Amino acid sequence: MTLSTANQKHEVMERYSRVSIRETKESKSVKIGSDLKPEIISSLINKWQSLLDTTAKIVNVPSCLIMRLNEETIEVFLRSRTEGNPYEAGEKAGLIYGLYCETVIGTQQPLLVTDATKSQIWNKNNPDIDLNMISYLGFPINWPDGEVFGTVCLLDKKENQYNEDFINLLRKIKLHVETDLELLLANSDLKEKNMQLERLNNTKSKFLSLISHDIRGKIGILDQLLKLAIDEFENYDKASLKTLFQSLSQEADSSFQTLESLLQWAKNDLIQLEPDKTQVDIIEVIEKLLHHFQEAVRMKDLSVKKEYQSNKCLILADENMMTTSLRNILSNAIKYTQNGGLITVRVSLADQHCNIEIEDTGVGMDESTLSRLFSYYKLHGKQGTKGESSAGIGLMLTKEFLDKNNATVEIESEVGKGTRFRITI
């Protein structure tokens, strides 16, 4: 079985609409609410509905509307529930007539038409006259960033001058709706920031878990070496003790280097796990890791076979992330391979890509385990073949690091026969 992974990105496209301004016979493109804009919540809809109903009754007209502009149409978003209102919520009209609201949106100015039937500009090809809506007063409604939402307007079946009080009333409705849109957007932004903060905290937790995972493994090896030294102390000669102390020093130095990486990442604000890419020789990285694991390999009497196509394989990547990823994979290969087993490391070049394979003859994985390998799953934390501990999070972060370095990973595994990781970068 093979598991492949890939990255996907979602892009939000800006949206525009073209409206006609009758008075100047101009066609204008305006930016309308993008996909990032929040949906209008029910509490606002109820509030606006009450405003429309009250305003229509005060002004004594059959229709008070909030219109919303779409890419190809203009829509009755809300209508006053007044007698004789010919418009229905959700009703749409194509942007082909040069409607009252199109002029309001295009000019971003209020529009007063006292009697369209007496106006040379408005008396022809006007669907509102067909509904006997011959007078109009409207104001533009915009999102706080200037993107168009639509209009708020009054329409009457008779000639109407709309006195100054009525004009000021509708202007206040416009400002009220725009304030609500601003608060809605601010609330949405706050929710998004809270989600980002939660994601950052989760990333931070995973990051700290990774460091704990690495240091825990190193301390475990140190503990095993010290216990071995204590149990076999009488059998050691001076040369053997020196070799053992060298191994202990290497493990301590490796733990120190891990802590140094933590401090460096924190210093560079890499708690968000953003890669710092440089030219890295992946063979040099592997050789350092194999040297690091030599005592763990010796204690399990494992064989390590190296198959390098050349003595160098240069990639553009974050060295710390790639080192951590390969260390976790090699650590698992050692951990889950029985005494006397074989680990093979291959590095090759093809089509300007560096291919890295780490294959073991260990316990392998079934299909269920393999499908969850890069997620946090409690069974991932199972002990190794000699009782080695595992936090169950190493490969989850390995996958995250590889993704951020534009690397792909494929895994083949069979229970009882071993596992092969193939990384291409």
Spatial CA neighbour of 157 closest among 216, 86, 240: 86
Domain membership of residue 251 (yes or no) is: no
Same domain for 279 and 187, yes or no, is no
What are the helix and strand counts (H, E) for the chain? Answer: 10, 16
Domain boundary, last residue among 191, 210, 245: 191
Coil, strand, or helix at residue 96?
Answer: coil
> For the whole prediction, is pTM greater than 0.75?
no
Instruction: Give dist(CA 140, CA 156) in Å, integer.
Output: 19
Which of 306, 345, 311, 309 shows the shortest CA–CA distance to 327? Answer: 345
Amino acid at 34: S
Distance CA 411, CA 2 (A): 5
Same domain, 184 and 279: no
Which own/partner pairs from 387-390 qualify as long-range (CB within 8 Å, at least 24 positions apart)?
Answer: 388/217, 388/220, 388/335, 389/216, 389/217, 389/220, 390/335
102: CB partners within 8 A, 6+ apart: 19, 20, 21, 22, 74, 95
Per the CB < 8 A criterion, the answer to whether 413 and 348 are in contact is no
Spatial CB neighbours of 276, under 8 Å, sequence gap ≥ 6? 268, 270, 318, 320
- Phi/psi of residue 251, nearest 5 degrees: -65, -40
Asked if residue 154 and residue 283 are part of one domain, the reply reads no
Question: Is 174 part of a structural domain of the chain?
Answer: yes
Please give the pLDDT value at position 213. 63
Residue 31 within a domain: yes
Residue 84's CATH number: 3.30.450.40
Half-sphere exposure (Cβ direction) of 148: Cα atoms closer than 13 Å: 30
Indicate whether 119 belongs to any domain: yes
Which residues, at least 6 apart from 167, have a Cβ–Cβ distance to it below 8 Å? 110, 112, 137
Same domain, yes or no: 52 and 179: yes
Does 292 lie in the same domain as 178?
Answer: no
Q: What's the structural domain count of the chain?
A: 2
In this prediction, residue 394 carries a pLDDT of: 59
Query: What are the φ/ψ torsions at residue 154 (nearest 5 degrees)?
Result: -115, 140
CATH code: domain of residue 379: 3.30.565.10
Based on the fold, state whether residues 86 and 180 are members of the same structural domain: yes
Report d(CA 270, CA 272) in Å as an integer: 5
pLDDT at position 190:
82
Q: Are residues 279 and 407 in the same domain?
A: yes
354-402 pLDDT, tens digit per residue, is 999 999 999 998 888 888 777 654 444 455 555 444 444 557 778 888 9
Neighbours of 399 (CB within 10 A): 18
The 10s digit of each residue's pLDDT in 160-201 is 999 999 999 999 999 999 999 999 988 888 887 888 777 767
Which spans in 136-237 are helix H? 164-231
Q: Write down which residue in 161, 191, 221 finishes a domain.
A: 191
Instruction: Give yes or no: residues 416 and 287 share one domain.
Output: yes
Same structural domain, 300 and 166: no
Residue 387: exposure state from Cβ atoms within 10 A (0-12, 13-18, ≥19): exposed
Residue 213 lies in a domain: no
Residues 282 and 170 in one domain: no
* 207-217 core/surface letters (b: 16 or more CB in 10 A; e: else): bebbbebbbeb
The answer to whether residue 235 is domain-embedded is no
| Residues contacting residue 166 through CB under 8 Å, at least 6 positions apart | 58, 59, 137, 154
Q: Report the C-alpha gap between 8 and 6 in whole angstroms.
A: 7
Model pLDDT, residue 272 = 53
- Whether 301 and 409 share a structural domain: yes
Domain assignment of residue 219, yes or no: no
| pLDDT for the residue 248 | 74
Residue 310 belongs to domain spanning: 275-425
Same domain, 168 and 27: yes
The identity of residue 263, as a single letter, is: L
Strand-pair category, 278-281 with 314-317: antiparallel
- Phi/psi of residue 54, each to 5°? -65, -45
Q: What pLDDT, on the 0 to 100 scale, is given for residue 113?
A: 97
Question: How much is the pLDDT for 262?
Answer: 61
Domain boundary among 158, 191, 224: 191
The answer to the question of residue 281 being in a domain is yes
The sign one gets for the Cα dihedral 240, 241, 246, 251 is positive
What residue ranges of the chain have pLDDT lower than 50?
1-11, 269-271, 377-381, 387-392
